[in-house]
Amino acid sequence: MTGAAHVLYGVLLGGAEGVYSFNSTLAMAAVQAGVLGNGQSGQVRVEILPGPGLFRGTTRYGVTSGDSDQSGIGHLAFRFVEAR
């Protein structure tokens, strides 16, 4: 995939604790998490998690994510993990 700091119609929710809402744009999350640089291509590995309910946004590497309260709807989340 290729990291992208900004994506037309992209969504980025969470990230303050390294956990993103499952409907977040993966390319934007990869840049904000520092896994890929903007425009850099590479492989990433994610772990799927139960959603924490409240996703807190943050700004890192020029990418800003939003807050989202998704408690009670069985939402999923993901975080980046190191490749084995």
For the chain, domains (ranges, CATH) are 20-81 (2.170.130.20)
* pLDDT number for residue 65: 98
- pTM for the full model? 0.91
Mean model confidence pLDDT for the chain: 93
Name 8's Cβ contacts closer than 8 Å, sequence gap at least 6. none
Sign of CA pseudo-dihedral 2, 18, 21, 60: negative
Query: Using 50, 70 and 90 to split pLDDT, how confident is the model at 24?
Result: very high
* pLDDT number for residue 62: 94
Rounded-to-integer distance, Cα 55 and Cα 53, Å: 6
State the average pLDDT over residues 1-25.
Answer: 93
Q: Which amino acid is at 43?
A: Q
Start-to-end Cα distance in the chain = 18
Beta bridge partners of 50: 76
Q: Report pLDDT digits (tens) over 44-83.
A: 999 999 989 899 999 999 999 999 998 766 789 999 998 6
* pLDDT number for residue 84: 64
